[in-house]
Structure 1
Amino acid sequence: MHEVIAHRHRFRALSARVQAGAAIPTAIAHPCDDVVVAAAVEAAEEGLITPIFVGPAHKIAVAAQCAGVDMTRFRIVDAPHSHAAAEQAVALVKRGEAKLLMKGSLHTDEFMHAVCAKGGLRTGRRMSHVFLMDVPSYARLLMVTDAAIAIFPTLMEKRDIVQNAIDLAHVIGIPSPKVAVLSAIETINPALPSTVDAAALCKMAERGQITGGIVDGPLAFDNAVDAAAAREKGIASPVAGAADILVVPDLESGNMLAKQLSFLGGAEAAGIVMGAQVPIILSSRADTPRARIASCVVAVLLAQACKATDVAAVAEG
C-alpha cells in the first residue's frame, strides 16, 4: 500500500498505520497546477483521500490535461478565483462535506486568511505548522515547527506550537516525544529572548501547562540532534542528541532549517497544520509528489485519530 513513498522507510511505516478503506473527503483549494492535481489523484488511487477540487473549472481542466489524468470521476466545485476557492473549500469543511483541507496552487497567506477568518476553522488553540521530516542521516523522524505560519510567536503561542507538535507525535506513534527548544546557545541570556522563552517553556512543561512530552532548552541545533556534540559541551539532558521535535524561535529560522534539511540534507518532508478544526495539508509549491502523498498520509492518520476519539467519547457518554 502507498508504494509511491516506499523508498522512505519511515514514511512507509506511517502509511502502514492508515486504516484500509477509509479514504477521507478532502477539499482542495485552487488546484490549478498539474503537480497538485496529479498528487491529489494519486492520493485518491492510494485510498487515502476522496478529493473535491475547488477552483476555476477551466483551469483545473487544463491542469488535469497537463497531468494526464481523467477528472470525470471527481467532484469539481467551480470558483472564479483563488480567494473564492479558499473560502468555498473552507465552507465545504464547515458543512461537513470534507474532513480534510488541502492548499493547492495559491499563496499560503491567501489560503490561511480564509481558514482564519470569522466563521472559519479556528479553535481555542493557536494554529501552527509542523514539518515531519525523514532525514537520511538522522535515526528517527524529525519534526520542525513552526516554519510556515507563526512569524514571531509569543511565549503563549509557542506553548501551543509545542503542544500541537506533541499531539501529532502521539498520533504517529511516539508516546513521549523529546522536544528541543532551539536557540543559538544552551545557556539563558536575557539579551537573546529565545533562550528565556525556552526556559519558560520547560517550566510550563514541569507545571502541566504542556503535557505529553519531555521538553528541554535552550539547546543549539547540534546539541539537539547529536549526542557527541552535547557531551562535548557537558550538556546532561534526556532530549539532547535524541530530539523528536525541534521548536524554532521564529518562522525565518524554522523555514531556513527545514529547507536546508530538504535541499542539502536530502530530507523528504510532510507538512501539516495543527490546531484547526480539521487537519490542513499545507504543501509548498516546490514539494515533490512524494512529499504531497506523505502529507496526505499524516493528515489521514490525524483524521482517523480524531474520529476514534469522537467514537470513544460517544460510547462513554
Structure 2
Amino acid sequence: MKDLHMKTITNTPWDQLEIGMEAEVRRICRADDFYVFANISGNMNPKHFPRFKNVEGALKEPVAPAMWVSTLIASALGRKLPGPGMLYKSQSLNFFERAFAGDEIIVRVKLIEKKPDYVAVFECKVDTADGKKLVEGVAEVFAPTEPMDYVIDDLPGLIVQRHAIFDKLLKEAEPLPPLKTAVVAPETEDALLGPLLGYDHTLIDPILIGDERKIREAAEKVGRDLSGFEIIDEPSHRLAADIGTRLVNEGQAAALMKGNLHTDVLLGAVVKRDGGLRVGRRLSHVFVMDVPGLNHLLLISDGAINIAPDLETKVDITQNAIDLAHTLGIREPKVGILSAVETVTPKIPSTLEAAALSKMAERGQIKGALVDGPLAMDNAIDLGAARTKGIRSMVAGQAEILIAPNLESANMLAKELTFIAHAEAGGLVIGAKCPVILTSRADDDKARLVSCAVAALYAHRKKPM
C-alpha cells in the first residue's frame, strides 16, 4: 500500500490516448538548475552562471541554457502525457527568445497524431509566464502500453555545492587592511601556499619565520618570488614559535599562523606564562563551516585542543565560539550543546554538563547567545527532527554553533561534514591575545583563504576580553 502523503504520477496508456489531449507543467528557472545542467552536460558557458558580466562589465542574470529549457518538454511528456513508461523516438525544435534565472516557464504538449507501433506525435511549446515564446517543435514518442506509476519521493534529491556563505565572508574581509601575521615554519609547499594565498587576496601580510633555505626552496617549487617578504631565519621550530609570539607582544604582528610544525609546539609558545599570549581564558579551536544544504554558517568546537574538557573549560569553549560568531556577523548565535540524547541522564555525563551550560547562559555566566542542551545532532540542526521529538526552543533545529562533548566527537563531526557532506571548513584558535590560524595539509585553497578571512574579521571586529 502506498503512503497517502506521497505524490504519485500515473500514465495514460496507448489505448486511452485521444487526439487533442493536452498537458502542462510549470517551472521556475533557478541558477542552481544551470549548475546541475553544466555538471551533467559539460556545457561550461559562463553566460549560464550567476554574476556573468558582459563586455561593458555590467552584471547580467544568467541565461538559461537552451537545451536545458528543451529538456522541460521531456518533463511534460514523461510526467503528464503520456507519462511514465514513454520513450523518445525523435524531436525537432526551433528556439526563439531566451529565458533567465527567475523566469517562470510554461511547457505545453498536445497530442496531434497516433502512428503505427505505438508512436504518439506531440506538438510542443515552451513560453515564459509573461508571454515570451522560447521553443516550438514536435516530439515523437513510443507511448506506454500498460498502466504505470511512480512515487516522486523515491527520486533522490540534489544539493548544489556552491559555498556562497564563504564567498560572502571573503567579500567582507578583503576591503580590510591586511592583517600582519607571523607565519611559523612555512617550510614546505603546502605550508607556504596558505599565507601566499592570504597575501594575494589582501587578507594578511605575512612575516615568514623558519629555516630560510627551506622556505625559499618551497617558494621556488610553487613559482613564487619572496623578495618582497620579510623572512626571519630560525631553523628551530620551538624558537621560531617563540619569535612569533614575541612579535605579537611587541605589536609587530596581529595574528599567528601555523606552518609545517606540530600544533603543540606552536601552542606551547602561545600558552607560556612568560612571553606567551594568554589572556585568562582557556584556548579553544573553532571550525567555521559552510555546509551544503544549510543557509547559515556552522561553527563547531572544540576539535583540536581540549581533549576531554571539564565543565569550566566548556564554558570558555562556548564563549570563545560565541565571540567568534559575533565578529562573523551573527548577532545572537544559537548554540546547541551536543550529546547522544536530548534528555538529561546521569548515565551520560555530557548531558549533565550540557544542562548546566544551558542554565549558566540563562544566568548570564555565558553571554551573547541563546544556549540549549543537551541536544542530539539531529534535533540540533533539523527543525523536523526537533518537532518530532517534541523539543521546542529558540535553538533546537536551528543551531549555528555546536559544542561537542570532547575533542574526538568535534573533530570527527567536522571531518565527516568536510569529506562526506562536501562542506568547506576554515579554522581558528580563539582565547589568546591574537587569533591563531591553524591550517592542514588536506585543506584546499578555499579553506586556507577562509581561515585567513576569519582571522582578519575577528582581529578587526572583536571586543576586548
Q: How many residues align?
A: 303
Counterpart residue number, 1:282: 438
Identify the match of residue 219 of structure 2 among 58, 64, 86: 64
Counterpart residue number, 1:313: none
Q: Aligned pair 1:45/2:189, yes or no? A: no
| 1:157, distance to aligned residue in structure 2 (A) | 0.8
Counterpart residue number, 2:234: 79
| 1:275, distance to aligned residue in structure 2 (A) | 0.6
2:210 and 2:236 in contact (8 A); partners too: yes
Counterpart residue number, 1:54: 209
Give the residue type in structure 1 aligned to 2:461: A
Q: Aligned pair 1:194/2:359, yes or no? A: no
1:38 and 1:69 in contact (8 A); partners too: no
Give the residue type in structure 2 aligned to 1:172: L
Counterpart residue number, 1:36: 191
User: Which consecutive unaligned segments of at least 5 residues does structure 1 have?
Assistant: 1-6, 311-317
Counterpart residue number, 2:259: 104
1:135 and 1:265 in contact (8 A); partners too: yes
Q: Percent identity between the aligned chains?
A: 51
Inter-partner Cα distance in structure 2 for 1:135 and 1:107: 28
Give the SS at the match of 2:365. coil
Counterpart residue number, 2:454: 298
| 1:19, distance to aligned residue in structure 2 (A) | 6.1
Q: Aligned pair 1:222/2:378, yes or no? A: yes
**1:1-317 to 2 correspondences below 5 Å:** 8-18=163-173, 20=175, 22-118=177-273, 119-306=275-462
Give the residue type in structure 2 aligned to 1:218: P
User: Greater RCO between the two (CA within 8 Å, min separation 6)?
Assistant: 1
Q: TM-score when scaled to structure 2?
A: 0.64
Q: Give the greater-gyration-radius structure (CA).
A: 2
| 1:9, distance to aligned residue in structure 2 (A) | 1.2
Inter-partner Cα distance in structure 1 for 2:217 and 2:446: 22
More strand by share: 2
| 1:305, distance to aligned residue in structure 2 (A) | 1.2
Q: Deviations over 1:23-42 (max 9, x none)?
A: 11100011111122122112
Give the residue type in structure 1 aligned to 2:270: V
Counterpart residue number, 1:315: none
| 1:287, distance to aligned residue in structure 2 (A) | 1.3
Give the SS at the match of 1:51. strand
1:35 and 1:67 in contact (8 A); partners too: no
Inter-partner Cα distance in structure 2 for 1:205 and 1:78: 47
Give the residue type in structure 2 aligned to 1:182: L
Give the residue type in structure 2 aligned to 1:168: L
2:163 and 2:291 in contact (8 A); partners too: no
2:182 and 2:247 in contact (8 A); partners too: yes
Inter-partner Cα distance in structure 2 for 1:59 and 1:50: 20
| 1:21, distance to aligned residue in structure 2 (A) | 5.5
2:174 and 2:453 in contact (8 A); partners too: no
Give the residue type in structure 2 aligned to 1:138: L
Give the residue type in structure 2 aligned to 1:50: D
Q: TM-score when scaled to structure 1?
A: 0.93
2:339 and 2:405 in contact (8 A); partners too: yes
2:176 and 2:456 in contact (8 A); partners too: no
User: Which consecutive unaligned segments of at least 5 residues does structure 2 have?
Assistant: 1-161
Counterpart residue number, 1:314: none
Give the SS at the match of 1:229. helix
Superposition misfits of 4+ residues, deviation over 6 angstroms:
none
| 1:58, distance to aligned residue in structure 2 (A) | 0.6
Inter-partner Cα distance in structure 2 for 1:258 and 1:62: 33
Q: Deviations over 1:175-229 (max 9, x none)?
A: 1100000000011111111000000001100110001100000000011111111
Counterpart residue number, 2:90: none
| 1:124, distance to aligned residue in structure 2 (A) | 1.0
Counterpart residue number, 2:78: none
Inter-partner Cα distance in structure 2 for 1:18 and 1:89: 23
Q: Deviations over 1:53-110 (max 9, x none)?
A: 0000011011111111111110000112222211111111111110111011111111
Report the aligned-residue RMSD. Answer: 1.4
Inter-partner Cα distance in structure 2 for 1:285 and 1:108: 13
Give the SS at the match of 2:367. coil
Inter-partner Cα distance in structure 2 for 1:90 and 1:174: 29
1:64 and 1:70 in contact (8 A); partners too: yes
